[in-house]
Structure 1
Amino acid sequence: MDAPKEAQPTGEFTCQLCGLTAPYMYYGQKPPNTRSIVLLEEGYVMKDPFTPDKDKFLILGSHCSLCSRSVCVGTECSLFYSKRFCLPCVNENLKAFPLEIQEDMDKRKSQQKSFPCKKMDTRT
């Protein structure tokens, strides 16, 4: 019996918003070596480099269901609400999303505005 082969990267995923790049092993909904896991979206998947367990994987990103651009799963780039949406598309179509999503986006905007302006407290 042959030993299972180590999965080799099939390509490189690039987020079109933040520029994150990473090699991916699989694109789809049923990552290899996962018994009964089915993802809710077709996504780019890589082997988890932080564990020797080959059944572990990381989801890198997917395509925005509105504009089709590749986006990572980072909260600064996209959100998943039954489908993957990039934040520019969410902001353009915010009224079409449920109130909870609208409120979450409002919180994100206020945090982004206050974060860069925060100054370190230099008092001693």
Structure 2
Amino acid sequence: MKCSKESQCCGTFECELCGLTAPYSYYGQKPPNAACVTLLEECYVMKDPFTSDKDKFLILGSQCSLCCKHVCVGTDCSLFYAKRFCLPCLKLHLNEFPVEIRQDLEKKTHSQHQSSKKGDSRTLKKN
């Protein structure tokens, strides 16, 4: 599946997995006012709201290179490994990634499972 390249300058970015929304001011690989920076992927970028330095920016997200979903850069939603992959696509094609990536994903999945069990037991104690 081929992802369409957007040429929008501004709008609202929305992660199709977690629902994060934020206004973006640029989409592409060369953010304005950052002449020395070339991003490795087409990204949705916003000016950093925490500084007055116009050269600073935040990367909000990109498109999954397989399914073209808009995904944020949060580790619960995507991974960048030469290209951006959403977690569902990563899991579907896990055997095609290096063993280190698979191990990291397994550790993360295991720790999320453990913390959700702890949350469940706290909920049960309150009831």
TM-score by length of 1: 0.88
Question: Equivalent residue of 1:60, what SS?
Answer: strand
Structure 2 unmatched runs, 5+: 1-8, 123-127
Q: Which runs of 4+ in 1 moved over 2 A?
A: none
Give the number of the structure whose residues are more often helix, by fraction: 2
| The structure with more radius of gyration | 1
User: Percent of pairs identical after alignment?
Assistant: 63
Q: Which residue of structure 2 lines up, in the alignment, with residue 110 of structure 1?
A: 110
Provide the C-alpha distance between the structure 1 equivalents of 2:80 and 2:72, rounded to a whole number of angstroms.
11
**What does the per-residue CA deviation read over 1:13-68, in whole Å, with 9 as the maximum and x for residues that have no partner?**
00000000000000000000002100000000000000010100000000000000
**What does the per-residue CA deviation read over 1:65-91, in whole Å, with 9 as the maximum and x for residues that have no partner?**
000000000000000000000000000
Provide the C-alpha distance between the structure 1 equivalents of 2:14 and 2:115, rounded to a whole number of angstroms.
26
Q: Which residue of structure 2 lines up, in the alignment, with residue 84 of structure 1?
A: 84
Mapping of 1:45-84 within 5 angstroms?
45-84=45-84
Q: Which residue of structure 2 lines up, in the alignment, with residue 17 of structure 1?
A: 17
Question: Equivalent residue of 2:51, what SS?
Answer: coil
Counterpart code for 2:93: N
Provide the C-alpha distance between the structure 1 equivalents of 2:112 and 2:66, rounded to a whole number of angstroms.
24
Provide the C-alpha distance between the structure 2 equivalents of 1:30 and 1:97, rounded to a whole number of angstroms.
28
